[in-house]
Chain A
Amino acid sequence: MKSTLFNDAAQTIDLSSVREFKENGGKVVGHTCSFLPVEIFYAAGMLPVRLRGINTESLNIGDAYYGPFVCTFPKALLQQAGTGAYDFIDGAIITSGCDSMRRLDECWRKMGQDISGTLPSWFYYFDVPNKPDGVAFEWYESRVRKLIRDVEKKFKISISDEDLRKAIRDQNVIRKAVWDLGLLRCEVPTFITGTEAFEALIARTVLPRDLYAEELTRLIDDVKARKDPVSNTKKRLFLAGSICDDLELVRQIEEAGAVVVGETVCYGQRNTCAQVEVEGDPVSALADHYLSGSICPRMFGYYPLRLNTLVDRIKQTRAQGVIMQNIRFCDLHGSENGLLERDLEKLGIPSLRIEKEYGALSEKGRLRMRFDAFLEQLDTQD
């Protein structure tokens, strides 16, 4: 019988494996951004889980702290925190992924004053520079070192370099496995749907590491042994753009008659899963990896690198078209998608831009019409 571990992890906030981790005395820290070196928490014996806004049924709390012209992702996170969905976390780290995410720090703190019990006992702001070069490296590295000291102090533990190296090695194993899964998706025909792969990738951000690594290995072996491909005729699409942990979006694209073969969205397989250096100073190695390895458009002046990475991944996955989505009012991806659309068009790569709210697909009908039309457009280009 097929395991539902990844599917549950992708669609549920309150996970039994996380509860179990806590019941065994473990501490859980929620975080909001891919620029946070999660190895620090694994080295501390803690569990970092990426905070998500899935399954929100209302934004009555989020709307109270944010204005109307703000991306719904931080609002949904705040809503979940405000309604008790994250009562199980022992701490939260907010990162300046963008201005709206930076404001989550202020909004959540204020909500903590207004709604009793919604602010975790450890609430931490982790600043990240907007450039991956020059003085930014020293700044970021110093922030990482400070974070380690603050974690040690708050949770009364000690994190040694060897603890960090072990955590790096463990995460490198997962990075390699995620890369291997990505390679399986590149095969023509592919033997894994984008929905199944995406749920495995989302699960990476919330499940305890060892459990995840074991299940991912099992999935990869299973896919390798499969005899029936997903389809020989379905169009191969790539998903890019704003933060996305919405399994339904990928499912809807695939229901229209495509297979999603890769993605660069946050929560997905964003980049090339490069390994973190295990020799030398582990903090420097982490700082180098996290700051320079990202293709997030929050980083100033690296558009050509991001375009090239996207084009390389499109070619590698043999995608025939790209769906670039952005959450409404997401300035970073909204403007970046415009540039990407222009440049992909020049390279003869068809693209479809969509703008949507974060979370439940309230615009399902209109999105489906666009996915259908895009696939029909690709049909005429065969």
Chain B
Amino acid sequence: MSVVAGCDVGSLATKAVIMDKRRIVASVIIRSGPRPAESAQKAMDQVLSESGLLSGDISYCVGTGYGREKIPFVNESLSEISCHGKGAMFLVPSTRSVIDIGGQDCKVIKLDAKGNLVKFITNDKCASGTGRFLDVMAKVMNIPVSELGDLSLTSREPITLASMCTVWAQADVIKNINARRPAQDICAGINTAMANRVSMLANAMSLENDICMTGGVAKNKGVVHALARLMGKRIKDIRQVDPQLVGAVGAALFAHEKAGKTKEARS
């Protein structure tokens, strides 16, 4: 049996991917609940149903994400840093650097030509530079977080947020809403503030091309464009799948390798 799975339980979203011979068969993204085990089970049930497979058909499953230790059905768990690197390299083989912005943290990862993890750095400070920052700002703006990116692209006069602290930036956004600044300008300011924070982390690593962005925030074009501008580097799009799935794809790829090794060991 060559069918494997990867399950990535993040702080905001849980992702599951099923692969057969390194080909994605099915995938789902659901909102994470308070209990990682339940979120993981729900995502797996959905992805199995989508693929028409049964849990017994999965020969190996790797878990990742902050809730990885709590997933009961995985054979093994690996850090999301390794999984995002693996997934990005698979989807864009020229990848040498990955910027993953998830719900509660941001990671910058360097890979060698074989996709091995060479170095990584994560944000240490707070919620700024994470998906949670955008979530908070979107709520204040009363728009879905998914609209922050496209809306910001039409901005002509982006606002500047004086602080990257989520709490102070929120106060700044409210001030600008009350000053009747156009929503697109506020969105552009929010995205640039986010990109500013992440670029500091990225610049500390002297990234090599090609650079990919993964995680939910990679879907926000405003942040991606601002980040590319601030770093002075191009960021390659991941087109094959939703970039939020990359960690789960990486986990499934590790599952594929591990399943192969298990099979070899048995024969």
Interface residues as binary, B106-120 with A (CB distance below 8 Å gives 1, 0 otherwise) = 000000000011111
Spot the interface stretch: A52-60, A118-126, A300-308, A370-378: A370-378
- Cα distance A328–B124 in the bound complex, in angstroms: 9
Contact of A369 among B80, B116, B117 (CB under 8 A): B80
Could you say which residues of chain A place their CB within 8 Å of the CB of B78?
372, 376
Could you say which residues of chain B place their CB within 8 Å of the CB of A353?
121
Chain A: minimal CB distance from B121 (Å): 8
Could you say which residues of chain B place their CB within 8 Å of the CB of A366?
66, 104-105, 122
Give the residues from 179 to 208 in chain B that come closer than 8 angstroms, CB to CB, to chain A.
none
A87 CB-CB contact with B under 8 Å: no
- Cα distance A351–B223 in the bound complex, in angstroms: 30
- Cα distance A369–B84 in the bound complex, in angstroms: 13
- Contact residues of A: prevailing secondary structure: helix
* Structural contact, A380 and B117, CB atoms closer than 8 A: yes
* Structural contact, A369 and B124, CB atoms closer than 8 A: no
Chain A: minimal CB distance from B95 (Å): 15
Evaluate whether A376 and B80 lie within 8 angstroms (CB atoms) in the complex, with A365-B66, A370-B122 already known. no
Could you say which residues of chain B place their CB within 8 Å of the CB of A354?
124
* Structural contact, A373 and B124, CB atoms closer than 8 A: no
Could you say which residues of chain B place their CB within 8 Å of the CB of A356?
124
Chain B: minimal CB distance from A13 (Å): 28
A24 CB-CB contact with B under 8 Å: no
Nearest residue in B to A326 (C-beta to C-beta)?
B124
| Most chain B beta-carbon contacts within 10 A, residue among A345, A353, A368, A372 | A372
B82 CB-CB contact with A under 8 Å: yes
- Cα distance A369–B66 in the bound complex, in angstroms: 7
Contact of B81 among A328, A345, A376 (CB under 8 A): A376
Task: Give the A interface residue count (CB, 8 A).
Answer: 17
- Cα distance A380–B80 in the bound complex, in angstroms: 15
- Cα distance A365–B105 in the bound complex, in angstroms: 11
Number of A-B contacts (CB under 8 A): 44
Nearest residue in B to A328 (C-beta to C-beta)?
B124
* Structural contact, B79 and A372, CB atoms closer than 8 A: yes
Contact of B82 among A328, A345, A355, A373 (CB under 8 A): A373
A381 CB-CB contact with B under 8 Å: yes
* Structural contact, B124 and A377, CB atoms closer than 8 A: no
- Cα distance A318–B118 in the bound complex, in angstroms: 20
| Most chain B beta-carbon contacts within 10 A, residue among A345, A356, A380 | A380
* Structural contact, B105 and A373, CB atoms closer than 8 A: no
Give the residues from 321 to 367 in chain A that come closer than 8 angstroms, CB to CB, to chain B.
328, 345, 353-356, 365-366
- Cα distance A366–B127 in the bound complex, in angstroms: 13
Chain B: minimal CB distance from A321 (Å): 12
Chain B: minimal CB distance from A71 (Å): 14
- Cα distance A331–B182 in the bound complex, in angstroms: 42
Chain B: minimal CB distance from A361 (Å): 14
Interface residues as binary, A35-54 with B (CB distance below 8 Å gives 1, 0 otherwise) = 00000000000000000000
Chain A: minimal CB distance from B58 (Å): 22
Give the residues from 55 to 81 in chain B that come closer than 8 angstroms, CB to CB, to chain A.
66, 69, 78-81
Could you say which residues of chain B place their CB within 8 Å of the CB of A365?
66
Nearest residue in A to B110 (C-beta to C-beta)?
A377
Could you say which residues of chain B place their CB within 8 Å of the CB of A369?
66, 79-81, 122
- Cα distance A209–B180 in the bound complex, in angstroms: 70
* Structural contact, A377 and B122, CB atoms closer than 8 A: no
Nearest residue in A to B84 (C-beta to C-beta)?
A373
Evaluate whether A376 and B79 lie within 8 angstroms (CB atoms) in the complex, with A365-B66, A366-B105, A381-B116 already known. yes
- Cα distance A365–B121 in the bound complex, in angstroms: 15
* Structural contact, A377 and B105, CB atoms closer than 8 A: no
Contact of B117 among A328, A345, A376 (CB under 8 A): A376
Could you say which residues of chain B place their CB within 8 Å of the CB of A377?
82, 116-120
Could you say which residues of chain B place their CB within 8 Å of the CB of A380?
116-117
Could you say which residues of chain A place their CB within 8 Å of the CB of B120?
370, 373, 377
- Cα distance A75–B81 in the bound complex, in angstroms: 33
Could you say which residues of chain A place their CB within 8 Å of the CB of B105?
366
| Most chain A beta-carbon contacts within 10 A, residue among B104, B117, B121 | B117
* Structural contact, A373 and B81, CB atoms closer than 8 A: yes
Could you say which residues of chain B place their CB within 8 Å of the CB of A368?
69
Nearest residue in B to A371 (C-beta to C-beta)?
B79
Give the residues from 147 to 206 in chain B that come closer than 8 angstroms, CB to CB, to chain A.
none
- Cα distance A267–B79 in the bound complex, in angstroms: 30
Chain A: minimal CB distance from B78 (Å): 6
Could you say which residues of chain B place their CB within 8 Å of the CB of A381?
116
Interface residues as binary, A164-180 with B (CB distance below 8 Å gives 1, 0 otherwise) = 00000000000000000
Could you say which residues of chain A place their CB within 8 Å of the CB of B82?
373, 376-377
- Cα distance A353–B124 in the bound complex, in angstroms: 10
Could you say which residues of chain B place their CB within 8 Å of the CB of A355?
124
- Cα distance A246–B124 in the bound complex, in angstroms: 19
A residues contacting B by CB (< 8 A) are: 328, 345, 353-356, 365-366, 368-370, 372-373, 376-377, 380-381
A sample of 20 cross-chain residue pairs with beta-carbon separation below 8 angstroms, ordered by A number, consists of: A328-B124, A354-B124, A366-B104, A366-B105, A369-B80, A369-B122, A370-B122, A372-B78, A372-B79, A372-B81, A373-B79, A373-B80, A373-B81, A373-B120, A376-B117, A377-B82, A377-B120, A380-B116, A380-B117, A381-B116
B residues contacting A by CB (< 8 A) are: 66, 69, 78-82, 104-105, 116-122, 124
Q: Give me the 7 closest cross-chain CB pairs, A-B, nearest first.
A: A373-B81, A373-B79, A380-B116, A372-B79, A377-B117, A355-B124, A376-B82
Known: A372-B79, A373-B81. 11 other contacts (CB 8 A): A354-B124, A365-B66, A366-B66, A370-B120, A370-B122, A372-B78, A373-B82, A373-B120, A376-B78, A377-B117, A377-B120
